[in-house]
Amino acid sequence: RTEAGLAAAAGQESERLSLSALAAFGAGSAAGPAVEPRSLRIGMVHLGLGAFHRAHQAVYTEDAAAVSGDAGWGILGVTGRTAKVADALQPQDGLYTVLTKAAGSREEDSSARIIGSLRGVAFPGRDTPRVIQALAARETTVVTMTITEKGYPRDASGHLALDSPAVAADLAVLERDSRRPANSDDAARTPLGLLARGLFARYRSSGAPLNVISCDNLSANGSVTRTLVTEMAAAGGAGFRDWVRESVSFPDTMVDRIVPAATEADRREAQTLLGLRDEGLVVAEPFGQWILSDDFAARRPAWELAGAVVTRDVRPFEAAKLRLLNGTHSLLAYLGALRGYRTIAEAAADEELAAAAAALQAEVLPTLSPPPGVDLAEYAAGILARFRNPALGHTTLQVAMDGSQKLPVRALGAVEDLLARGVVPEALARLVAGWMVFVYRGRDAFANELPLQDPLAEVLAGKARGPQGGLVDRMFELPGVFSAPVAGNPGFRTAVAAHAAELLGSLSHSP
């Protein structure tokens, strides 16, 4: 530990991480940037600058650049609705630390590295022209996105949600832009609207090809993005829409690294390692995986040099990850939160819940085609071991967030597949019941509040009101969540109702 690190450990404030502080104090026991930040040119724009991008795509990009020596992959990060991340990173010259926490509790089980590839941070509320300019620039050939499952406004048939006021507003600006020089001061209402505006500016200037790479937990995330962006582009005219079809690629990707929201305790731990204060810290597990479909219209970082895999067919990897990891994550989140567990690790350490998680994995296994070279049983067991990492502090409430957007992707697709085979999936019914009771009860076994964070929160609160007996039927009426084959299957509905009644019964003695 450095002098400054010891001072930090004593709770004294440290110098803020920045290029000049790094030059003056060094990086303590953390690894410094693998590239020289000042040498980088921006070649990538990221939309949705949250924790995951900084611990995943940005790390792959920095490691690939360090090996290849290519200085053209600096990243302009674009935050979402709040300036919080921008305000944390801009004073730090875009520098931040990835604090990797292995499963042990010893200090040496954590390691810190500073990432230097984020060469600009923009907040759409005040930097829209800068973002549009970067998206149009010929030097930009890659856009990555982590805008969360709710960032893709779709209707029940998977097309652009034209009834969304935010989408309608973005379409109106695009349509107006098509009639006169774009007035890019208008802040876009959706991230895909901002992307479409940038593509429109690119189409009208260089027309250079571009890779748009969704890194969200969606099935066929590239195809989903292609559909929505192409439909949005039509508002800018047929020529623009055709250019998007011909010149922009939307590869599918499977992304994996558990990245919990960082806490003040994490920032203190990093401070003792760095000897500097980092308000942009991200925390992650050691494991990481990135599988991309080989569908690129323009040059990109050689991510394979950092361990990414580019393959013809991502779907088997994606289905295995979404169903064996994310579905199980949600089961532990809802049942664990209701039992009063604050973290996924606590829930995964509960024998009964661990058995329920293993049962869900066993149930969905037959719906999966083993990706080449992957032993699915081994992969599934490895996932449960990753969940048990007590150092991560990944909260059940963070995983429980946005259930109306997550369950269709990570659980209800598997339900539909199994029902089509005449199987009523009990473990998945228990997951769906857990979500419904989580929404309905809003409190855990100890009467602690379980806040509901979901784009459908108002609708869900309405469903939660009313007699307990009709809860499951009311929830099955949710628009855009349960497909007809799932909601209309009496066997599945009965199974969900039975699990919900059992769960509510087990909580009925609680305050």
- Residue ranges in contact with ligand NAI by CB under 6 A: 48-53, 79-81, 146-151, 191, 216-217, 255, 257-259
Would you say 411 or 472 has its CB closer to ligand NAI? 411
As measured in angstroms, the least distance from the Cβ of 140 to ligand CS2 is 27
Rounded distance, CA 366 to CA 417, Å? 10
**Residue 182 contacts residue 237 (beta carbons within 8 Å):** no
As measured in angstroms, the least distance from the Cβ of 202 to ligand CS2 is 30
Would you say 44 or 497 has its CB closer to ligand NAI? 44
If one asks whether residue 326 binds ligand CS2 (CB under 6 A), the answer comes out as: yes
As measured in angstroms, the least distance from the Cβ of 506 to ligand NAI is 29
Using only the alpha carbons of the chain, give its radius of gyration: 23
Structure tokens at 10: 């004593």
Q: Where are the alpha helices (DSSP H) in 149-235?
A: 165-177, 191-204, 221-233
Amino acid occupying residue 342 = R
As measured in angstroms, the least distance from the Cβ of 344 to ligand NAI is 11
Q: Which stretch binds ligand CS2 (CB under 6 A): 204-212, 295-303, 321-329, 373-381?
A: 321-329
As measured in angstroms, the least distance from the Cβ of 260 to ligand NAI is 7
As measured in angstroms, the least distance from the Cβ of 133 to ligand CS2 is 31
Single out the residue of 323, 406, 430, 493 in contact with ligand CS2 (rule: CB under 6 A): 406
Would you say 40 or 51 has its CB closer to ligand NAI? 51
Single out the residue of 29, 219, 223, 398 in contact with ligand CS2 (rule: CB under 6 A): 398
Single out the residue of 21, 171, 306, 399 in contact with ligand CS2 (rule: CB under 6 A): 399
Closest CA to 217 of 130, 289, 309: 289
Q: Which residues of 172-185 are buried (b: 16+ CB within 10 A; e: fewer)?
A: ebbeebeeeebebe
As measured in angstroms, the least distance from the Cβ of 386 to ligand CS2 is 9
Closest CA to 262 of 101, 114, 446, 426: 101
Rounded distance, CA 30 to CA 27, Å? 5
- Structural element, H or E, at residue 284: strand 282-284
Would you say 258 or 276 has its CB closer to ligand NAI? 258
Q: Please state the three-class secondary structure of 89-120 as a single string.
A: HHHHCCCEEEEEECCCCCHHHEEEEEECCEEE
Structure tokens at 74: 């600096």
Indicate which of ligand NAI, ligand CS2, none lies near residue 326 (CB less than 5 to 8 Å, by partner kind): ligand CS2
Structure tokens at 89: 């990173």
Amino acid occupying residue 56 = H
Rounded distance, CA 410 to CA 401, Å? 13
Single out the residue of 101, 241, 257, 441 in contact with ligand CS2 (rule: CB under 6 A): 257
What 8-state DSSP symbol labels residue 449? B
Q: Where are the alpha helices (DSSP H) in 314-350?
A: 315-320, 327-338, 344-349
Would you say 247 or 289 has its CB closer to ligand CS2? 289
Q: Which stretch binds ligand CS2 (CB under 6 A): 2-10, 253-261, 348-356, 453-461?
A: 253-261
If one asks whether residue 111 binds ligand CS2 (CB under 6 A), the answer comes out as: no
Contact set for ligand CS2, span 46-105 (CB under 6 A): none
Structure tokens at 23: 């030059």
First to last CA, the chain: 47
Strand pairing report for 248-249 and 142-145: unpaired
Closest CA to 248 of 285, 281, 212, 287: 212
- Please report where in the chains the tokens 């007590």 appear, as a residue: 390
Would you say 217 or 293 has its CB closer to ligand CS2? 217
If one asks whether residue 258 binds ligand CS2 (CB under 6 A), the answer comes out as: yes
Rounded distance, CA 38 to CA 441, Å? 52
- Structural element, H or E, at residue 28: none
Indicate which of ligand CS2, ligand NAI, none lies near residue 151 (CB less than 5 to 8 Å, by partner kind): ligand NAI
As measured in angstroms, the least distance from the Cβ of 256 to ligand CS2 is 4
Indicate which of ligand CS2, ligand NAI, none lies near residue 503 (CB less than 5 to 8 Å, by partner kind): none
If one asks whether residue 329 binds ligand CS2 (CB under 6 A), the answer comes out as: yes
As measured in angstroms, the least distance from the Cβ of 197 to ligand CS2 is 28
- Structural element, H or E, at residue 144: strand 142-145
If one asks whether residue 256 binds ligand CS2 (CB under 6 A), the answer comes out as: yes
Q: Which stretch binds ligand CS2 (CB under 6 A): 134-142, 191-199, 252-260, 453-461?
A: 252-260
As measured in angstroms, the least distance from the Cβ of 68 to ligand NAI is 25
C-alpha distances in Å from residue 413, one per residue of 106, 123, 229, 370: 40, 35, 24, 17
Residue nearest to ligand CS2 (CB): 329
Indicate which of ligand NAI, ligand CS2, none lies near residue 496 (CB less than 5 to 8 Å, by partner kind): none
Contact set for ligand CS2, span 210-239 (CB under 6 A): 217
As measured in angstroms, the least distance from the Cβ of 152 to ligand NAI is 9
Which residues contribute to the site for ligand CS2 (CB under 6 A)? 217, 256-258, 325-326, 329, 398-399, 406
